């Protein structure tokens, strides 16, 4: 069938282009005509996949043989941007909303941290995919490390289930700083 052959050709193209910083490239290549829902999906799913995600797309979902874990981490570290003035701790109350709004039972499309982590003991609808972050501020972690971890978790654990939230722009640097404050501030319910 013609359609399928065409679709195949698009996959091929998608794979070739995927090696480049795809999110930006997609814009440039966007043809003038309106994309169909399927074309949009293909761009989002294939073309916008970055090469690090491609490395992790194997049966074990980890860094595959032949790719250096150290190089991977180094490349991820290099992507991390800090807020103006390098201030990695912001406003914990704003951070709380981004982490998971208590008024919405801890939901948030932004950080959505409760999907995977427990934290504020008042929020019982919390997942156990990542470690519990209760009392996180008392563990003596350098807030800068926490910042980097949220900005690009793959700089620490490549291919982790934890998304690279700053890297993809799900959270802005200032917003990550607010979340860091929520994790570290002694007033935060996380540390009470």
Which residues in this chain contact ligand HEC in the complex, by CB under 6 A?
A: 99, 111-113, 115-117, 129-131, 133, 146, 149-150, 153, 156-157, 160-163, 165, 179
Between 8 and 131, CB nearer to ligand HEC: 131
The sign of the CA dihedral 141, 87, 78, 129 is positive
Among 5, 27, 34, 85, binds other proteins (CB under 8 A): 27
| Min separation Cβ 150 and other proteins, Å | 14
Minimum CB–partner distance for residue 32 and ligand HEC (Å)? 31
Nearest residue to 150 (alpha-carbon basis) of 84, 82, 52, 63:
82
Q: How far is the CB of 19 from ligand HEC (least distance, A)?
A: 23
Picked from other proteins, ligand HEC, none, the partner binding residue 159 (CB below 5 to 8 A depending on kind) is other proteins
Distance in Å, CB of 89 to ligand HEC, minimum? 13
**Count of residues for the chain?**
192
Q: Which of residues 66-125 bind other proteins (CB under 8 A)?
A: 109, 114-116, 125
Taking CB under 8 A as the criterion, the residue among 38, 81, 145, 192 binding other proteins is 38
- Report which of 96, 86, 98, 77 is spatially closest to residue 148, judged by C-alpha positions: 77
Is 4 among the residues that bind other proteins (CB under 8 A)? yes
Could you list the residues that contact other proteins (CB under 8 A)? 1, 4, 7, 23-24, 26-27, 30, 35-38, 40-41, 43-46, 48-49, 53-54, 56-59, 61, 109, 114-116, 125-129, 159, 161, 163-165, 168-170
């Amino acid at each position: 069938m013609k359609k399928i052959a065409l679709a195949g050709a698009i996959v091929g193209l998608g794979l070739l282009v995927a090696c480049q910083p795809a999110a930006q490239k997609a814009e440039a290549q966007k043809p003038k005509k309106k994309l169909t829902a399927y074309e949009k999906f293909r761009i989002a799913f294939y073309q916008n996949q970055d090469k690090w995600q491609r490395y992790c797309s194997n049966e074990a979902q980890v860094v595959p043989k032949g790719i250096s874990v150290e190089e991977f981490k180094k490349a991820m570290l290099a992507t991390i941007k800090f807020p103006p003035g390098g201030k990695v701790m912001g406003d914990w109350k704003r951070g709380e909303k981004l982490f998971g709004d208590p008024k919405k039972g801890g939901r948030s499309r932004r950080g959505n941290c409760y999907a995977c982590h427990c934290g504020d003991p008042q929020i019982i609808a919390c997942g156990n995919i990542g470690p519990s972050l209760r009392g996180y501020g008392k563990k003596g972690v350098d807030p800068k490390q926490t910042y980097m971890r949220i900005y690009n978790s793959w700089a620490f654990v490549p291919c982790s289930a934890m998304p690279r939230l700053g890297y993809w722009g799900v959270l802005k640097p200032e917003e990550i700083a607010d979340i860091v404050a929520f994790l570290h501030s002694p007033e935060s319910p996380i540390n009470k």
